[in-house]
A = this chain, B = another copy of it.
Amino acid sequence: MTRLQRLRSAITAPPRDGFAAAQQHLDSLTKPRGSLGRLEELAARLAVLRAGPPRVAQPVIFTFAADHGVVAEGVAAYPQVVTAQMVENFLRGGAAINVLARQAAARIVIADFGVASPLGPSDALVRRPVGPGTANMARGPAMTRAQAIEAIEQGARLAEEALDAGADLLATGEMGIGNSTAASAITAAVTGLPAEGVTGRGAGADDATLARKIATVRRALALNAPDPGDGLDVLAKVGGFEIGGLAGVILAGAARRVPVAIDGFISGAAALVAVLLAPDARHCLFAAHRSAEPGHAAVLKHLGLEPYLDLGLRLGEGTGAALFIHLARAAALVWSGMATFTSARVSDKA
């Protein structure tokens, strides 16, 4: 069995009967039943996944970067060199994800999965390039099937290293000029929705760019005909190296029943690929937020996930997932830190 086959076969659903016991514990705490709303649902899901008290002590954010050949079609608002420039910014600690990860006491793994422009020397950068950016999916497949497998396995390996070091929550993030075009193509391929329904402005495309972007997604799908039942085929035909890496992070988290916080639209596309490869991976997925990018709603609906935050974010990098960490930690602390009606001698409902 290959590494990917082993991962896929290790992913199973947690026992459903854990929810009743989890809710019973939450109902014993000194608050009206259900009064913490989705924080209780979040705590229960975390507890069921872990088969024990939820714990968010060592969150790790995976911010994977790669370039996309499809930018040659004029689909992006920023020049391709910005991918490399932003990776340098991550490494210097000046990006939004750096600020928000520090606040959340989360470690960031910044990895190059295939940035086209040169990156300077850095000990902090994890170098796992699958290629110098993908090929242009409007002219042929974005990558080979072997590259798709490599991207996933490299991502999974990085997640496994973090898990071995004690990570108890994984979070996804990305950077890649053009990657919202890939995410739209993946979403259209998997959900069957038309390109115009799942393609948005990304980092700020104007009307003409948006029109080109929709036409490009449509052409890439018609040309490559990705098989909507085969996650590897979808990733290879219209995906991206960083998206494959994040699918690997999700599969590695799911295989160990560790929660994975999904950031926005591009991370959501990685989740679509992961769930095609191992449907029970969805039990480990937590949708951090609802992105302003229109295709994200289709991703969430397909995965059956309800986001926890709705702040109109559309930055990526893992920023929404970083904000979600506070909520996940709150849920874990409520679970373990509150008194019970009995211990606090508080009268329960009349």
Contacts and interface: CB of A to CB of B under 8 A. Distances in A.
Given A79-B350, A92-B339, A346-B86, A312 B37 contact: yes
B344 A314 contact: no
Q: Oligomeric state, in number of copies?
A: 2
Contacts of A34: 204
Interface residues of A, number: 59
Contact of A35 (B29, B315, B327, B338): B315
A289 B83 CA distance: 35
A347 B85 contact: yes
Contacts of A314: 32, 35, 37
Interface in A18-55: 29-39
A102 B334 CA distance: 11
Contacts of A312: 37-38
A313 B86 contact: no
Interface in A188-238: 203-204
B36 A313 contact: yes
A337 interface: yes
Interface stretch (A107-115, A253-261, A303-311): A303-311
Interface in A61-105: 77-79, 81-82, 85-86, 88-89, 92, 94-96, 98-100, 102-103
Given A204-B33, A310-B310, A96 B326 contact: no
Contacts of A39: 311, 313, 323
A85 B347 CA distance: 8
Nearest to A89: B344
A345 interface: yes
Contact of A31 (B29, B36, B96): B96
Nearest to A335: B99
A88 B89 CA distance: 49
A88 B344 contact: yes
Contacts of A98: 337-338
B204 A100 contact: no
A276 interface: no
Contacts of A122: none
A288 to B, nearest CB: 13
Nearest to A264: B35
A343 interface: yes
17 contacts: A30-B86, A30-B94, A31-B95, A32-B204, A35-B313, A35-B314, A36-B315, A36-B319, A79-B347, A92-B339, A98-B337, A99-B334, A102-B333, A308-B311, A311-B327, A323-B326, A326-B326
Give the 6 A-B residue pairs with the shortest CB-CB distance, closest first: A94-B339, A37-B312, A326-B326, A35-B315, A32-B203, A99-B337
Given A32-B315, A85-B345, 20 more contacts: A31-B95, A31-B315, A32-B203, A32-B204, A32-B314, A33-B204, A35-B204, A36-B319, A37-B311, A77-B349, A78-B347, A79-B350, A82-B347, A94-B338, A95-B339, A98-B337, A203-B349, A310-B310, A311-B327, A323-B327
